[in-house]
Amino acid sequence: MLPDYFEFSLPTRVIYGVGVIDQLRDTVAPYGRRRALLVTDAVLVQAGLAERVRSGFQNTAIEIAATFDQVPPNSTIQTVEDCAGLGREHGCDLIIGLGGGSVLDTAKVANILMVKGGRVQEHMGAYLLGQTKLLPLVLIPTTAGTGSEVTKVAVIADPEHDVKLPFAETQFLPDLAILDPELTRTMPPKLTAATGMDALTHAIEAYVDKEWSPASDGLALQAIRLIRDNLLLACAQPDNLQARGAMLVASCLAGVAFSHSMVGMVHGISHALGGVYHIPHGLANALVLPEVMAYNLESRLDRYADIAEALGVVFPRPGAALGNLLRYGGLSFAVPLVKPLAGLDRWFRRQAAKAGISYIRNLNRQLAHLTGMPLNLRDAGVNDDLAKLEQVADTAMTDGSMLYNPREPERDAVARIVRNLYDTTVTPLPVTPADLRPAGAAVEAREFRNVFPDSETLYRVLGGFFERLKVDPQIGGPLKNSRLCVQFAFENPTATMTIDARGEEVRIYRGAEFVGQPEVTMSMSADFAHAFWHGRVNLISALTRRQVIAKGNVPKTLKLLPILKPAYALYPRYLAEIGMKEAA
């Protein structure tokens, strides 16, 4: 089944990779020479992440000309105006947002002010910019939840009037979103849990909402699977970059999904809890999510059963299984006999949908066990016996998200849900090793940083290694027979080395010793070369990621493939021999 109408587009280029922040030169080359305004917050500066980003941009044509690091957890009109003022003062013509949702939203709205001027309030609304072009925008999330790096919306607080100002502009979709798990590593477990539940809520609401589409369905279900396998793991093992990366990707996919399908009643209630009781957004979503799933269940039974399956709660379908067996197993005459079992299948689907809700309830309890996440509104800081319950219900009922909920939200239901979340006495649930599923089979790549402090060291180490390749019994022959002249151009430190196998014997040249034209030039960072000779990187994917820039007759280098395996084995042995044990 398809909806009557849907749209789908994502103009943002999204790049993902561990340490990808250090390989930006070619990625940002299309923007040319620019003066960037870096928008971030004090905590991220303290954690060294702003510096990490600054050094990532150092080898690019983008100069970070000013840093605005005063974004609070809930950005305000004043914050945005100060931010845009700083950018204008320094003549910035590109904006980089580094942080969680509040920072990224600030960068988005500051972009309007820098281009159009005026006060923040004048630009509140939806799609007011028309064809106006804003400054190029690069967004780098440091939490895995909001998905703000791929959404057209931003929210800025107006503390004077106690309201949140919503903005929606297509131009908010950044030119580039950089997903680097290393930048989420310092996120505390409690924030990891809350932001992860925000992402899960985005995915689930996108999947059941009125505005669902086949495109957002696919992204939402995959986000749910990634969160299922990685949220507990990321909380339990904050340095697990596979889990961190999966959560970052899940948040991004869920962001794209809900940017198209919108969110629903969970967000309606949690926005109200945020506005009236200042409950953090992710935490409010975590608590409200299973309650609203239960409220919506009958209106989207099949879709909730799909969600349960994506969460790993898979129940049998005996009717379908037996039907397939008979139909394709050559017993088609018996197919009608299975018909009554269709009712059994429907019963199982309903049970699966319900079990999906239990799964979320248990997930919250396990997150509470791992991170101390509150499980009721009392522990979340509501200490007035819900005196403002009516205000919460009124605020929720006027929230735009309510419009997209699959079942008409009733005010009584909202009040009942909030009351239950206040009264509940549910307790944390221990996490077993089986709950911490492995986040994919990939082994975490060992990172190498500044292995060669200067060109001299590089020439000594790699030069010596290439000389060893020449005389190695397994490698020397094929190297000579390749009759190839390949030059390696290194950066950090700068150096060139040339292997010329065209003459009587293979010659190794350092720097300017080589005169002439190599057949192939391979440019890369020196650290990358080190990882390469360790056999830790795949040359083809390195070319795709532009970690290696190859010029010349590249296919001819395939002649060197046979020497790679023995060379990988030789390199760490050689390093140990020359006393570089720690790099081996």
Site residues (vs Fe ion, CB under 5 A): 198
Is the Cβ of residue 241 or residue 396 nearer to Fe ion in the bound state? 396
In the complex, what is the shortest distance from the CB of residue 115 to Fe ion, in angstroms, rounded to a whole number?
Answer: 27
Buried b (16+ CB within 10 A) or exposed e, 204-239: bbbbbbebbbebbbebbbbbbbbbbbbbbbbbbebe
Give least dist CB 224 to Fe ion, A. Answer: 15
Closer residue to Fe ion, CB minimum distance, 405 or 525: 405
Pairing mode, if any, of strands 520-525 and 549-552?
antiparallel
Judged by beta carbon, residue 258 or residue 488, the one nearer Fe ion is: 258
Stated as kind and residue range, the H or E segment containing 365 is: helix 341-371
Nearest one of 344, 302, 580, 329 to 465, comparing CA atoms: 580
Backbone angles phi, psi at 133, to 5 degrees: -90, 130
- The minimum distance between CB 202 and Fe ion, in angstroms, equals 6
Contact 498, 485 (CB under 8 A): yes
Q: Which is nearer to Fe ion, 198 or 211 (CB)?
A: 198
Give the strand pairing for 125-126 and 520-525: unpaired
Q: Which residue is nearest to Fe ion (CB)?
A: 198
- Whole-number Å distance between alpha carbons of 465 and 457: 12
- Minimum Å distance from CB 540 to Fe ion? 38
Min dist. Cβ of residue 269 to Fe ion (A): 12
Q: If residue 509 lies in a helix (H) or strand (E), which one and from where to where?
A: strand 507-510
Q: Cα separation of 315 and 418, whole Å?
A: 31
**Residue linked to tokens 């928008």:** 39
Alpha helices in 58-89 (DSSP H): 77-89
Q: Name which of 269 and 429 has its Cβ closer to Fe ion.
A: 269
> Tokens at residue 493, please?
């430190």
For Fe ion, the closer of residues 108 and 317 by Cβ is 108
Residue closer to Fe ion (CB basis): 182 or 198: 198
Contact 167, 154 (CB under 8 A): yes
For Fe ion, give the closer residue by CB, 195 or 242: 195
Q: How far is the CB of 147 from Fe ion (least distance, A)?
A: 8
- CA atoms of 530 and 496, how far apart (whole Å): 14
Tokens (6 digits) for 394: 């009124």
For residue 123, the minimal CB distance to Fe ion (Å) is 22
Nearer to Fe ion, 153 or 583 (CB): 153
Q: Is 158 strand, coil or helix?
A: strand
Of the pair 199, 375, the CB lying nearest Fe ion is at 199
Closer CB to Fe ion, 169 or 198, in the complex:
198
Name which of 101 and 374 has its Cβ closer to Fe ion.
101
The C-alpha atoms of residue 244 and residue 396 are separated, in whole angstroms, by: 32
Give me the least distance between CB of 149 and Fe ion, in Å please.
13
Helix (H), strand (E) at residue 515:
none
CB of 286 to Fe ion, least distance (A): 11
Q: How far is the CB of 308 from Fe ion (least distance, A)?
A: 21
DSSP character string of 451-498: SSSSHHHHHHHHHHHHHHHHH-TTTHHHHHHH--EEEEEEETTTEEEE
In this complex, which beta carbon is closest to Fe ion, that of residue 254 or of residue 389?
A: 254
Run of H or E including 98:
strand 94-99
SS (H, E, C) 161-192: CCEEEEEECHHHCCCEEEECHHHHCCCCHHHH
Residue 267 CB, shortest distance to Fe ion, in Å, is 6
Minimum distance from residue 208 beta carbon to Fe ion (Å)? 15
Tell me the C-alpha to C-alpha distance, in Å, between residue 43 and each of 47, 50, 70, 86, 529. Answer: 6, 10, 9, 19, 34
If the CB atoms of residues 280 and 319 are measured against Fe ion, the closer one turns out to be: 280
Per the CB < 8 A criterion, the answer to whether 216 and 257 are in contact is: yes
Strands 137-141 and 176-179: parallel
What is the spatial distance between Cα 7 and Cα 131, in angstroms, rounded to a whole number? 19
Q: Are 145 and 285 in contact (CB under 8 A)?
A: no
Query: Token pair 């990366």 is at which residue?
Result: 245
Q: Nearest distance from residue 190's CB to Fe ion, in Å?
A: 17
How far is residue 435's CA from residue 429's CA, in Å, rounded to a whole number? 11
User: 255, 201 in Cβ contact below 8 A?
Assistant: no
Q: Give me the phi and psi of 574, to 5 degrees please.
A: -65, -45
Distance in Å, CB of 157 to Fe ion, minimum: 15
